[in-house]
Amino acid sequence: MPKIRSDIVKVYKDVHIWVGIVSGLMLFIAFYAGAITMFEKPLERWATPPSALAPPPPVSRAPELVRAVLAEHPRAAKNYSVVIATTPDAPARVIWRERGDRPRQFTEFGASFAPDGALQVEQLRKAPVAQLVDTLHQMVGLPFPDAVARPIMGIVALLYAVALVSGVIILLPTLAKDFFALRIGKNIKRLWLDVHNALGFVSLPFHLVMALTCVVFAFHDPFYDLQGKLVYPGGIQWGEEAHAPPPPPGTPLLPADELLRRVQTQLPGFEIQSFTFQQEEDRVEGRLTGLDVRHGTRARTYASTHLDPYTGQVDPHDLPGHMERWDGAVNAFFMLHFGSYGGNPVRWLYLLLGLGGALVFYTGNLLWIESRRRKQRDAGLPEQKRSTRILGALTVGVSLGSVAGISATLAATKWLPAQVDNIAAWHEGIYYAVFLLAVCWAFLRGAARGAYELLWLAALATALVPLGSLAGLWGVAGTWNHGGSGIAVDLTAVAVVPVLLWAATRTRRRALVGSPDSIWRA
């Protein structure tokens, strides 16, 4: 390998450092929250209160249930779903949404038959906490509207890509010597550098995929405009799918069990989750939602396409495995970002890579602080400069504040529904209150004390997560426990607590006996 000039390496090192500092803290939140969203569906099921509806009737009785719903709730005819595979977060056989008074406000209802045959209707309470974690991931933790936060996220992703490229160029001259080297000793900066380099280089393909797909997601409208001009001669025809002509008046929809049989014949291996029916001017349009684990999907946990509810004919062009080449390429961007392929092994891999990515950004800031400390010590400065102290406090407050904030809002999940109405607002409020308090605490106490104290806080908040499930097991009013379907969330929280306590112990030891001229010395 030809040797790279030292002055070029220095330029790329400066670029890498400053780009990493500007974007690193937001990327920590994005990666930490993103790692959790790899199991968004189990988290949503764990967090959703149990339904008071009677067990769903068999699929063969779905037409009867639909008729009963439409007789009492005619507004449901505009858009309703027949759920084939019911779950704690979708417990009813028939579900529909009604528009509220405010824009984009909907209330979701579910229906079943009571033991005496009467119609049962319940407002469904799908837990919003999993969506909050996903929003933190998408908006890099910024509490701004989508129109403001998404472009910022795109710029951060571009900076992230620049940091990746410059980091590789920095590492190339010493790659053979330093790769996989983990020099444990008194030189803490060298240890953090080895960890940072090893994590960054091993997971480089993953990071490149995340950076590129985030740019696509952030600026998808301009990309779609360009795609419409270059790929589609007449432009993209949004909403112009060719549907079958309207059926003769009075033609009935196929019953759900017959639709199920016909779809299974056309799409062997496709696990059907639900059928959705939407009333148009002269006919009812249908959509099919489900999952084929053999193919990656555009969404995390499902794929959907058009279905003719009168004939059961599926239009598979939107389904992975049936797409044309260009649509398949677009689908690949989503699939690679969401890890929606390969099942749970890939999800666990993405979770570990996400946590590793968060650690890369955290160690990057630590390296800069340690480098500044050495330069200031060599220059004979009696104390740390303000810029070093500020970045240290920000690194500790933002990183550990996001960890503690997510754990705190998860810990409140099984207590809020019985106490408040606007659950989503409370979850958001709890997260940002803990996050902001953590940042303020880090500035007040300094990076050294703040680090281990906030790690204790994060450990405490995480330990409280399974308390709601225990309360449900003990019969405490307003709480619940779904049993086997939710125990993985509780066990994961229990496993994380000793890791946080170990990190707090190590950090406190560093604060007490570390180098006296370091901001990590209390």
Q: Got the DSSP string for 395-410?
A: HHHHHHHHHHHHHHHH
**Order of strands, sheet of 94-99, starting from the edge strand that comes earlier in the sequence:** 119-123, 106-113, 94-99, 79-83, 271-279, 284-291, 303-307
Q: Which of 436, 354, 353, 439 is nearest to 395 (CA)?
A: 439
Domain span at 484: 6-46+131-216+342-513
Residue 477 contacts residue 418 (beta carbons within 8 Å): yes
Mark whether 111 and 177 lie in a shared domain: no
Distance CA 139, CA 136 (A): 5
pLDDT of residue 99: 79
Residue 187 lies in a domain: yes
Residue 236 lies in a domain: no
Number of structural domains (the chain) is: 2
Tens-place pLDDT, residues 179-200 = 555 555 555 556 666 666 677 7
Host H or E run for residue 160 = helix 146-171
Tens-place pLDDT, residues 233-242 = 665 554 444 5
380 has pLDDT over 80: no
Tally helices (H) and strands (E) across the chain: 16, 7
Mark whether 499 and 437 lie in a shared domain: yes
State the residue for tokens 């053979």: 176
Host H or E run for residue 343 = helix 343-378
pLDDT of residue 3: 58
Most confidently predicted of 106-115, 175-184, 209-218, 396-405: 396-405
In percent, the amount of the chain with pLDDT more than 90 equals 39
Tell me which of 102-116, 152-166, 366-380 is least confident: 366-380
pLDDT of residue 1: 46
Mark whether 36 and 175 lie in a shared domain: yes
Residue 269 lies in a domain: yes
Q: Which DSSP state fits 267?
A: S
Mark whether 435 and 478 lie in a shared domain: yes
Distance CA 266, CA 307 (A): 11
Residue 274 lies in a domain: yes
pLDDT of residue 216: 81
Mark whether 175 and 82 lie in a shared domain: no
Residue 228 lies in a domain: no
> What is the rounded average pLDDT of the residues 406-432?
93
pLDDT, averaged across the chain: 83
Mark whether 294 and 407 lie in a shared domain: no
Mark whether 212 and 348 lie in a shared domain: yes
State the residue for tokens 């940002």: 432
Q: At what angle do helices 423-463 and 386-411 cross, to 10 degrees?
A: 100
